[in-house]
């Protein structure tokens, strides 16, 4: 999920539509409310944020410091007017990148992915057994063969792969896929998506790679045990 900090609904709404077409959930927060949200948000809510996009707003040079107190997610600032002094000031404030508008959301996704790879030394792909997930838009592969997946199922698989080695609760997966403010979707939809995903994976792998334990959550496993 991406958080967009901007007080203009037309901006947050426009990006929300564009990101949604790429299978990415976004939530817009008014700059005047952002600091309060960041302070009071639960750990699971903050962990669900993949990146923060900060638009033109008063006081935004203070947001990177506040974000770093709670999150390691990439922080990008969106600029509408060229200004070297302002750009240098934003970098000095701690942002990871400054992007000049207009910009396609795919470029934003690529920049966020590049920042994340540098920060965690992550490659463009990750594998667990015969399952390979690419974070650059390519199809998931099973044993080297592509497996087309609907965007929600793909996002869940990406989430499980990124967090390999630890279990994720239904709430954590829901927040990562749908966003922490989406009150129109029931959290139990995650179970439906995972059920469909595990059937497809089991058909191709010959075993069920998603291990689930009540009250503990979900994780991916190799044949014969958990990863």
pTM, full prediction: 0.61
Listed in sequence order, the residues at least 6 apart from 227 whose beta carbon sits closer than 8 Å to its beta carbon are 128, 129, 164, 165, 219, 220, 221
In this prediction, residues 143-166 reach a mean pLDDT of: 88
8 Å CB contact between 51 and 2: yes
What pLDDT band is residue 125 in, cutting at 50, 70 and 90?
Answer: confident
Listed in sequence order, the residues at least 6 apart from 111 whose beta carbon sits closer than 8 Å to its beta carbon are 74, 76, 97, 99
Domains contained in the chain, CATH given: 2-120 (3.40.50.2300), 125-226 (1.10.10.10)
Q: What percent of the chain has pLDDT over 90?
A: 39
The pLDDT score that the predictor gives to residue 9 is 87
pLDDT at position 115 over 90:
no
pLDDT at position 218 over 70:
yes
The pLDDT score that the predictor gives to residue 35 is 92
Q: Whole-number mean pLDDT of the chain?
A: 86
């Amino acid at each position: 999920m991406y958080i967009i900090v901007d007080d203009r609904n037309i901006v947050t709404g426009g990006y929300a539509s564009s990101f949604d077409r790429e299978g990415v959930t976004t939530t817009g927060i008014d700059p005047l409310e952002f600091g309060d949200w960041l302070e009071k948000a639960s750990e699971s809510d903050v962990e669900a944020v993949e990146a923060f996009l900060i638009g033109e707003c008063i006081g935004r040079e203070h947001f990177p410091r506040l974000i770093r107190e709670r999150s390691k997610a990439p922080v990008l600032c969106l600029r509408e007017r060229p200004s070297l002094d302002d750009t240098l000031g934003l970098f000095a404030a701690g942002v990871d990148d400054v992007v000049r508008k207009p910009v396609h959301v795919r470029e934003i996704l690529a920049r966020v992915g590049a920042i994340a790879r540098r920060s965690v030394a992550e490659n463009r792909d990750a594998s667990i057994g015969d399952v390979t997930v690419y974070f650059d838009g390519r199809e998931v592969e099973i044993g080297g063969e592509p497996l087309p997946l609907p965007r929600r199922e793909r996002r869940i698989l990406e989430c499980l792969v990124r967090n390999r080695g630890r279990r994720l609760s239904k709430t954590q997966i829901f927040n990562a896929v749908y966003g922490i403010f989406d009150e129109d979707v029931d959290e139990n939809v995650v179970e439906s998506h995972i059920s469909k995903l595990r059937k497809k994976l089991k058909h191709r792998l010959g075993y069920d790679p998603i291990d689930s334990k009540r009250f503990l959550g979900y994780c991916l496993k190799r044949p014969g045990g958990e990863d």
